């Protein structure tokens, strides 16, 4: 069974190695595209389209409206700044020319040429991010109902499942991460990019801690703190580094890949040695998640300007998330059943004495 892990391991590492290649932007060097950007920067127009965010005086100097004439922030969200509008419409016009000449699409500034929908930059990725968020929320609610309404509770109304609080934190971090992903794919600006990266690192780091605690069945709170403290310190330092020192894409990718690979290894080994009745679900998630990374390796341009490989990868995580929360619920039932049986046997032994 471990051979499946090496498939996932190879996929993740290959994805990391290929990352710089995937981020290449051939469209940036196109002379016509660059000339369009230059003209737009001087005039605020691309062809017959002129942008309200590009304001110029009669002598061609850029001016900005005073703060009291600007729209509220919640209305500004759907708008783009001058540079973004110039890049987008220059890209659109250049891609039309390339299509007419029989050439395929190329990347601009690290991204495929997407079509905006109501100001949303990558509508398919946003939709799938929202669906992932909804799936996590459904999984968390069903897990909560199972714990506190369907499974037996202790006399103090606490659950027998001693990993319950850890999964609640995991759910909150997952919801936050997918919300940040939806924001980032809606509008790629410095704030949403850093928020997305920070949340991704946070959930990866916490998932690593959770995989260690569950696979080694760590129950003692002191031991949990000893395991979690150094990892939490590293993850926090890394997030601060990305936000306040340097957003180093290469270093961040290495950190994320290492945490992902270690998790895959832990879950794969545990699934291979445990007698858990739902270990097959764990295998589906581990192997399926690894194979889904192939979509990141074999990158392809968006169909009809909407669905690219990254959006498709987001789509594959939806059923995997559903299976994952199904495993978590099964694990809660499994551990609770064992705890109740152990308590009953202990009571019987005491009565026998």
pLDDT confidence of 290, banded at 50, 70, 90?
A: confident
pLDDT confidence of 60, banded at 50, 70, 90?
A: very low
The pTM of this model reads: 0.83
Write the pLDDT tens digit of every residue in 111-166.
Answer: 888 888 888 889 999 999 999 999 999 999 999 999 999 999 998 889 999 999 99
Higher-pLDDT residue of 297 and 349 is 297
Write the pLDDT tens digit of every residue in 61-98.
Answer: 444 554 444 445 544 555 677 888 888 889 989 989 88
Delineate the domains of the chain, giving CATH numbers in brackets.
Answer: 23-101 (no CATH), 123-352 (1.20.1070)
Highest mean pLDDT among 25-34, 181-190, 338-347: 181-190
Q: SS in 3 state form for the chain?
A: CHHHHHHHHHHHHHHHHHHHHHCCCHHHHCHHHHHHHHHHHHHCEECCEECCCCCECCCCCECCCCHHHCCCHHHHCCCCCHHHHHHHHHHHHHHHHHHHCCCCCCCECCECCCCCECCECCHHHHHHHHHHHHHHHHHHHHHHHHHHHHCCECCCCCECCCCHHHHHHHHHHHHHHHHHHHHHHHCCCHHHHHHHHHHHHHHHHHHHHHHHHHHCCCCCHHHHHHHHHHHHHHHHHHHHHHHHCCCCHHHHHHHHHHHHHHHHHHHHHHHHHCCCCCHHHHHHHHHHHHHHCHHHHCCCCCECCCECHHHHHHHHHHHHHHHHHHHHHHHHHHHHHHHHHHHHHHHHHHHHC
Look at residue 275 and tell me whether its pLDDT is greater than 60: yes
Higher-pLDDT residue of 56 and 242 is 242
pLDDT confidence of 352, banded at 50, 70, 90?
A: low
Average pLDDT, the chain: 84
Look at residue 15 and tell me whether its pLDDT is greater than 60: no
Look at residue 7 and tell me whether its pLDDT is greater than 50: no
Least confident piece of the model among 20-29, 76-85, 307-316, 321-330: 20-29
Look at residue 232 and tell me whether its pLDDT is greater than 80: yes
In this prediction, residue 16 carries a pLDDT of 42
In this prediction, residue 330 carries a pLDDT of 97
The mean pLDDT of 14-23, rounded to a whole number, is 41
Look at residue 5 and tell me whether its pLDDT is greater than 50: no
């Amino acid at each position: 069974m471990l051979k499946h892990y090496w498939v996932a391991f190879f996929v993740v590492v290959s994805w990391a190695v290929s990352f710089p290649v995937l981020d290449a932007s051939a469209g940036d060097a196109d002379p016509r595209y660059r000339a369009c950007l230059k003209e737009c920067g001087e005039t605020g127009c691309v062809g017959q389209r002129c942008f309200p965010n590009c304001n110029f005086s009669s002598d061609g100097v850029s001016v900005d409206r005073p703060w009291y004439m600007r729209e509220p922030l919640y209305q500004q969200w759907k708008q783009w700044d001058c540079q973004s509008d110039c890049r987008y419409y220059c890209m659109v016009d250049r891609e039309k020319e390339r299509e007419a000449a029989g050439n395929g699409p190329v990347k601009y500034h690290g991204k495929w040429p997407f079509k905006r929908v109501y100001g949303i930059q990558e509508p398919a990725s946003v939709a799938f991010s929202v669906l992932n968020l909804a799936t996590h929320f459904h999984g968390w609610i069903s897990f909560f109902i199972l714990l506190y309404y369907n499974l037996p509770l202790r006399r103090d109304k606490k659950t027998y499942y001693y990993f319950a609080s850890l999964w609640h934190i995991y759910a909150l971090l997952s919801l936050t991460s997918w919300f940040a992903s939806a924001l980032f794919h809606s509008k790629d600006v410095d704030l949403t990019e850093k928020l997305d990266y920070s949340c991704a690192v946070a959930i990866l780091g916490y998932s690593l801690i959770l995989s260690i605690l569950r696979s080694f069945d760590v129950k003692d709170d002191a031991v949990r703190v000893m395991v979690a403290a150094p990892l939490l310190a590293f993850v926090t330092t890394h997030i601060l580094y990305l936000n306040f020192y340097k957003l180093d894409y290469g270093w961040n990718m290495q950190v994320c890949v290492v945490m992902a690979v270690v998790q895959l290894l832990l879950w794969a080994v545990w699934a291979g040695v445990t007698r858990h009745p739902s270990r097959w679900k764990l295998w589906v998630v581990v192997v399926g998640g690894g194979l889904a990374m192939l979509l990141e390796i074999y990158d392809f341009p968006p169909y009809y300007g909407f669905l690219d490989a990254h959006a498709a990868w987001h789509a594959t995580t939806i059923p995997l998330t559903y299976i994952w929360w199904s495993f978590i619920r099964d694990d809660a039932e499994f551990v609770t059943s064992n705890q109740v049986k152990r308590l009953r046997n202990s009571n019987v032994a005491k009565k026998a004495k």
